[in-house]
Amino acid sequence: MMTQVMRMTASSWIFSISQIKTLGPCCVALFLVLCFSAYGTTAEDPATESSTAPHVQVGTRHAPPFSYRDDQGAWRGLSITLLNRLAEELDFTFELHERTDMHTLLAETASGQMDMAVAAITITPDRERRLDFSHPFHFTGLGIAVPYHDQQASWLVVLRSLLSPGFLSVVLTLSVVLFITGAFLWIAERRHNPQFPSQPAAGLGSGFWWSAVTMTTVGYGDKAPITLAGRMIALVWMFAALIMIASFTAQITSSLTLSAFHARISGPEDLQRVRVGIVGNTTADHYAKDHNLRRYEFASLRQALRELEAGSVDAVIHDHPLLSYEVQQLSDDPLMVLERTFERQDYGIALPLESPWRKDINPVLIEIVTDPMWVRDLQGYGLR
């Protein structure tokens, strides 16, 4: 019996060894498959990593050269360039939503409908109460657009005033008064005074000359009345001429002075006396209200510039880079933007209050704007 057990045990061992030899390659293969499967679950999949990147809703508006659509409808501009670089550095994707006015854009950002807003957005104390902002990425100021001819040399301005209908009408009126006075004197003197010939042409000419030199108090003495009627006319004309010449001189001087005064606008200190065009709900609009300017509100900057060209307003104020860009686009219009800027403007990215993006954006933004490539971007958009 013991012999049978030993034979069975030996047979079992022989069977087990033969099974192992038979199943060995399968086990090894199975082991390798399991190992690689486990490794695959722990390795990072680029496609999976990309799909988990944050997707950001970004508001913007037409504000060239900071944000605008090109001929193919793609968004371009300095602010869009900055947004693309931030997305690359911070690994997020974004979707742009265009809004037609700044008020709507900032309101939706403040409410959280937009994760951020990029365009030409000025950082102001009032906006800081409702929004968070990134560090500024561009520094500028308000600019003034004026008709090109208003900046011509002062002697051209005076010449234009001398040839204006108002000035010419004054000269014509004065000439008529001189002629009538001279005619009355000629009628009184023509038969008794050889200085006033009886021939109408020569006599009326002499009378006109006498009335002119008498009015200006020059009094050459080459012609003088000798009749009682002539002297009475002369006496009345002398007193009347004193009043008349003073009045006409004041009127002419005022006309020339005002023409030259209104012709040149060299800075914000000149805006108090002229009609100023602005776009509603902008920094320029707030400036005009704060300084009690004679403001005329328009729906868009281009419309304001068209009205400036038509003479409806005397100047247009807006953010200097946006104003310069629009004037360049309207190259056929005789408009120019003064080099001088005022009321400093700092552009930043608008964010909802306590947005987590602010602390991530600011360090990267500083790196971007201090990189030499940023200077080339500014030059490319005509901002430097």
Express each pLDDT in 35-90 by its tens digit: 444 433 333 333 334 458 899 999 999 999 999 999 999 999 999 999 999 999 99
Tokens describing residue 31: 């082991």
CA atoms within 13 A on the CB side of 173: 12
pLDDT of residue 255: 62
Residues 224, 262 contacting (CB under 8 angstroms): no
CA atoms within 13 A on the CB side of 273: 12
pLDDT of residue 37: 42
Tell me which fold the domain 147-152+265-343 belongs to. Answer: D-Maltodextrin-Binding Protein; domain 2 (3.40.190)
Helix axis angle for 228-263 and 200-215, nearest 10°, is 60
Inter-residue long-range contacts of 267-275, CB under 8 Å, 24+ positions, other chains counted: 267/144, 267/338, 267/340, 267/342, 268/142, 268/144, 268/317, 268/342, 268/343, 271/144, 271/315, 271/317, 274/313, 274/314, 274/315, 275/312, 275/313, 275/314, 275/315
Phi, psi of 65 (to 5 degrees): -95, 25
Quickly count: other Cβ atoms within 10 Å of residue 102's Cβ. 23
Alpha helices in the chain (DSSP H): 2-42, 46-51, 78-90, 102-111, 125-130, 154-162, 165-189, 200-215, 228-263, 283-290, 301-310, 320-329, 357-369, 372-380
Query: In CATH, what number does 51-137+348-380 get?
Result: 3.40.190.10
Tokens describing residue 294: 């004679």
Return the amino acid letter for 178. L
Helix axis angle for 320-329 and 301-310, nearest 10°, is 60
Mean pLDDT of the chain: 82
pLDDT winner (highest mean) among 76-85, 176-185, 194-203, 375-384: 76-85
- Judged by average pLDDT, the poorest of 4-18, 55-69, 162-176, 348-362 is 4-18
Residues 115, 349 contacting (CB under 8 angstroms): no
Quickly count: other Cβ atoms within 10 Å of residue 13's Cβ. 10
Cα 353 to Cα 45: distance, rounded to the nearest angstrom: 35
Residue 353's SS3 state is coil
With a CB cutoff of 8 Å and minimum separation 6, the contacts of 128 are none
- Judged by average pLDDT, the poorest of 50-54, 216-220, 236-240, 364-368 is 216-220
Average pLDDT over residues 96-102: 94
| Closest among 155, 79, 90 to 121, alpha carbons compared | 79
pTM (whole model) above 0.75: no
Tokens 């902002």 locate to 133
Tokens 């939706």 locate to 108
CATH match of 155-263 with 3.30.1330.90: no
Residue 151's SS3 state is helix
Tokens describing residue 149: 């001819």
pLDDT per position as a tens digit, 138-182 = 999 999 999 876 555 456 556 666 677 777 888 888 899 999 999
Measured between its terminal Cα atoms, the distance across the chain in Å is 107
Cα 108 to Cα 110: distance, rounded to the nearest angstrom: 5
pLDDT > 90? residue 116:
yes
Query: Where, residue-wise, is CATH 1.10.287.70 in the chain?
Result: 155-263
Query: Where, residue-wise, is CATH 3.40.190.10 in the chain?
Result: 51-137+348-380, 147-152+265-343
Residue that wins the pLDDT comparison between 100 and 1:
100
